Amino acid sequence: MNFLRNLFGVICGLVVAGLIISLGIRINPSWINYEEWAPFEHWKQQLIAVKDQESFFAALLFFGGLGVSIGGVVTALIVKYAKVAYAILIGFIMLFIAMLDIIIYPYHPTFYKISIFLVFFPFSWIGGKIVEVIYERKKKADAKKNQNAKVSE
């Protein structure tokens, strides 16, 4: 049963990260040159249109970091054990997808190609660590509460 729970957690984390990234690049309407919601069908034309706009790729990096952080939090909340490890898995999968994007569409600037390594792993780790710290604090508070209840008896 843990396998299905972990798989569900990873899928939810990836969906959340993907939604944040794809919604984040739609913040600036001048970046989007198509009408319908079909980002994968128009991605090549999108990259060609914005290849000289560093702000687009900086926003893509920012929302990528934000997406894997929140995706890592979602994953860590769902899985039962190894919360940080599964959150880092979200970063690894998203990094793999970003590397495929760079290989398939060579229109990315050099700073983006280098920066994705510095963004996806640390931010996904931070997302998992946030949940781990919250759980540890809750566990300590519960232990202290139980200890105070035993002393009062």
Spell out the domain ranges in the chain. Answer: 2-152
Confidence of residue 48 (pLDDT cuts 50, 70, 90): confident
Amino acid of residue 146: N
Residue-level pLDDT at 6: 94
Residue 41: how many other CB atoms lie within 10 Å: 11
Q: What is the mean pLDDT of residues 23-50?
A: 74
Q: What percent of the chain has pLDDT over 90?
A: 58
41 pLDDT exceeds 90? no
Confidence of residue 34 (pLDDT cuts 50, 70, 90): low
Residues near 151 by beta carbon (within 8 Å), at least 6 away in sequence:
none
